[in-house]
A and B are shown apart, each in its own frame.
Chain A
Amino acid sequence: EVQLVESGGGLVQPGGSLRLSCAASGFIFSIYAMTWVRQAPGRGLEWVSTISDSGSNTNYADSVKGRFTISRDNSKDTLYLQMNSLRAEDMAVYYCTRGTSGMDVWGKGATVTVSS
């Protein structure tokens, strides 16, 4: 079964850091670009970042550029999102999704709460 499982969410103070992970299974992880999408409470979907299959190319939303870093470990079939200098507006459910144009598989999400 094709599956994506996010982990690493939690409560963090403004200005703090958190690293999300997304474990992939059921498909050949290394041949797919991967994407993070977030959803603030009661709001719509917002694209955050995408990484190419090899990890050599990355793209970021302006709202997170310079603060978030997307990476991957193809030997571990795992995607990451390092989030630094977190702000209240970063509070959201973060979804891991397969692909850059397709986004055909989604995880259940990891909740990030930013509060003092």
Chain B
Amino acid sequence: DVVMTQSPLSLPVTLGQPASISCRSSQSLVYSDGITYLNWFRQRPGQSPRRLIYKASNRDSGVPDRFSGSGSGNDFTLNISRVEAEDVGVYYCMQATRWPRTFGQGTKVEIK
């Protein structure tokens, strides 16, 4: 199975400051079609997950442009350029290149 390792697991941030979450996979996430199937989700307390980024760097409709995804191969990053109060929650990366689909452990973002 592809192991997804996120860091840090807890991220206290100051409002208006940037934040960055790392996600590393134990195998390359480049599929045979050349596409990297790496998603980022956020789960706010008491809510269902919401996809923010797909195919490593594509932002979903309605997601603020302060969110960006980058990376390739085995190494990926979710960046928030200026954290706002509504950004608190747990962020997960997930690979959909190989079976079984696997998620990272989650990174809890909270405001200092």
| Shortest CB distance B23–A (Å) | 13
**Which of B54, B94, B96, B99 lies in contact with A45, CB distance below 8 A?**
B94
A36 to B88 alpha-carbon distance, docked (Å): 25
Q: Closest chain A residue to B99 by CB distance?
A: A59
A100 to B41 alpha-carbon distance, docked (Å): 15
Q: Main secondary structure on chain A at its contact with chain B?
A: loop
Please tell me if the beta carbons of A103 and B92 are within 8 angstroms of each other in the complex. Answer: no
Please tell me if the beta carbons of A101 and B49 are within 8 angstroms of each other in the complex. Answer: no
Interface residue total, chain A, C-beta cutoff 8 A: 20
**Which of A44, A50, A108 lies in contact with B103, CB distance below 8 A?**
A44
**What are the residues of chain A within 8 A of B101 when measuring CB–CB?**
35, 47, 50, 100
0 or 1 for each of A84-96: is its CB under 8 Å from B? (1 = yes) = 0000000000010
0 or 1 for each of B18-54: is its CB under 8 Å from A? (1 = yes) = 0000000000000000000101010100001111001
| Shortest CB distance A30–B (Å) | 21
| Shortest CB distance B97–A (Å) | 8
A50 to B37 alpha-carbon distance, docked (Å): 16
Please tell me if the beta carbons of A103 and B94 are within 8 angstroms of each other in the complex. Answer: yes
**What are the residues of chain B within 8 A of A50 when measuring CB–CB?**
101
**Which of B54, B90, B100 lies in contact with A104, CB distance below 8 A?**
B54
Is there a chain A Cβ closer than 8 Å to B106's Cβ?
yes
Please tell me if the beta carbons of B54 and A95 are within 8 angstroms of each other in the complex. Answer: no
Known: A102-B39, A102-B96, A108-B48. A47 touches B106 (CB 8 A): no
**What are the residues of chain A within 8 A of B96 when measuring CB–CB?**
100-103
Q: Closest chain A residue to B106 by CB distance?
A: A44
A16 to B19 alpha-carbon distance, docked (Å): 45
Is there a chain B Cβ closer than 8 Å to A32's Cβ?
no
**What are the residues of chain A within 8 A of B60 when measuring CB–CB?**
104
